[in-house]
A and B are shown apart, each in its own frame.
Chain A
Amino acid sequence: MAKKKGCMGCSFPVAIVVVLAILGVGVISLLGGALGNALLGDVGLPSWLLAQSPEVHLPTDVIFHFLGFPITNTIITAWITIIVLLTIFYFGTRSMKLIPSRFQTAVEFVIDYLLTFCEDIAGKKYGRKFFVIVATIFLFVITNSWIGLVPGVGTILVEGADGHMVHLFRPVNTDINLPLALAIISFIFVEYWGIKTLRLGYFKKFLNTHRFFQGFKELFSGKIKQAMGSLFNGAIDIFIGLLEALSEVVRIVSFTFRLFGNMTGGEILLLMMVFLAPFLLAIPFYGLELLVGFIQALIFAGLTLVFATIAITPSHSDE
């Protein structure tokens, strides 16, 4: 035979075996999952192939107490995230060279990407200052969500502090305390830079009484018609200022629930898919969750960056 035949790099027999194996896994998956159970009823598969009904509960489980301080499964997973990140960056930056190795290039690419991102939005001067927090938020969130997809997270059971069997690892972003902690850090970071850059001028945007008092002045100097206009606009300014102040605080809530909701939703989606058909069917959703993890990390870091950039920009009433 002059021409070599084959299918996707395999010879025909190998390709056929692979296709059959995939089909077999698919069939078992359908039979073992809830989907097949509902359609065909129990076909007598061994129990370890049957999908467990997923339980969703939002509070985390305490694994053990350390000096009276409860250590939950998400805290342990967060430590793993920290160790993973630290390992990557420690070995990536251990022997830095001007002409980098491949690993160093990869590490530098990540940092450079985030640095460029910060500098594009906040400008050269502040981009560098914002970078450290923004990049840490990004790396923490994205690593947390990707580690949540590793087999073992959400499947290994240990005996918890209260005697129940609980998960040893759990995706950190699905513990509302982490998004809340990040949101608080983001809030403090934004307010800190706003006050540091604009000093007292920063609060002008929340307490904009300038035009209101101007209206009073005009009222007493007899310009009634002008005064009414100024008083009205002044009242609106004060109201807008209050809204600004409120939105500043509401950000904590929106930050928290955006990340928490997306990640918990993704986790539940994966649980449901695995429940419906344990194999194959869930794979595309894992890909989706990779993307969602990246996007959520980018949104959290990006919004923090944008809010900080807005905070350091003087408000218009300064003119």
Chain B
Amino acid sequence: MEGLGINLSSLLAQLVNFGLLFALLYFFAYKPVIKMLDQRSAKIKESMEQTEEIKKQHELAEKETARLIAEAGKEGQRIIEQATLIGEETKQKAKQDAKVEAEKLLAKAKLEIERERDEAIGELRNAFADLTVMAAGKVIDRSLDKEQHRQLIDKVLEESNVVNN
């Protein structure tokens, strides 16, 4: 034992040294570092869970977006079809309206023409009557009662009904 150098005082001193180191390391190394390691792993776990959650949400949102886009496309298609339909209808109606209007105008124009013709005929008849009265007066050199004369002519014309259609 002496040759190896074992002695109680040194042994006690080394035991005390170890105890001292143990206590110091416990408070300055193990406790804070393990606390930190645990904290970090908890944090990492939390972050990973959050990432997973966000990923899930993202996927959900993507799906939702795709659904909305598809829906919007469908809706757009529907609106376009409807618009086309309405447009067609409007066109048809406009055509119809135009036709009706045109016909109306045509009828009106015809009426107008007829009226104008009647008027012209009336005027012509008057002029002719005056002319005839004048000519007849000149021929027979006698002035007939103008009023009488006119009635006479009208009557003739009515009877003859030549000019009148």
Instruction: List the interface of chain A (C-beta within 8 A of B).
Output: 58-60, 69-72, 74-75, 78-79, 81-82, 85-86, 89-90, 92-93, 96, 98, 100, 107-108, 111-112, 115, 128, 131-133, 135-136, 139-140, 172, 175-178, 180-182, 184-185
Interface of chain A: mostly helix, strand, loop or mixed? helix
**Chain A residues, CB < 8 A from B26:** 132, 136
Instruction: List the interface of chain B (C-beta within 8 A of A).
Output: 2-7, 9-11, 13-15, 17-18, 20-22, 24-26, 28-30, 32-34, 36-37, 39-40, 43
**Chain A residues, CB < 8 A from B5:** 58-60, 175-177
Contact among B4, B29, B34, B43 for A98, CB-based, below 8 A: B43
CB of A15 to closest CB in B, whole Å: 44
**Chain A residues, CB < 8 A from B34:** 111, 115, 128
Q: Does A177 contact B29, Cβ atoms closer than 8 Å?
A: no
CB of A144 to closest CB in B, whole Å: 10
Offer 28 A-B interface pairs, CB within 8 angstroms, sorted by A. A58-B4, A60-B10, A69-B9, A69-B13, A74-B10, A78-B13, A82-B17, A86-B25, A89-B25, A93-B36, A96-B32, A98-B40, A108-B33, A108-B37, A111-B30, A131-B30, A132-B26, A136-B18, A139-B25, A176-B5, A177-B10, A177-B13, A178-B14, A178-B17, A180-B6, A180-B14, A181-B11, A181-B15
Q: Does B18 contact A89, Cβ atoms closer than 8 Å?
A: no
Interface of chain B: mostly helix, strand, loop or mixed? helix
Give the docked Cα–Cα distance between A21 and B14 (Å). 44
Q: Does A75 contact B30, Cβ atoms closer than 8 Å?
A: no
Closest residue of chain A to B35, judged by CB? Answer: A96
Q: Does B18 contact A182, Cβ atoms closer than 8 Å?
A: yes
Q: Does B43 contact A136, Cβ atoms closer than 8 Å?
A: no
Q: Does B29 contact A89, Cβ atoms closer than 8 Å?
A: yes
**Chain A residues, CB < 8 A from B22:** 132-133, 136
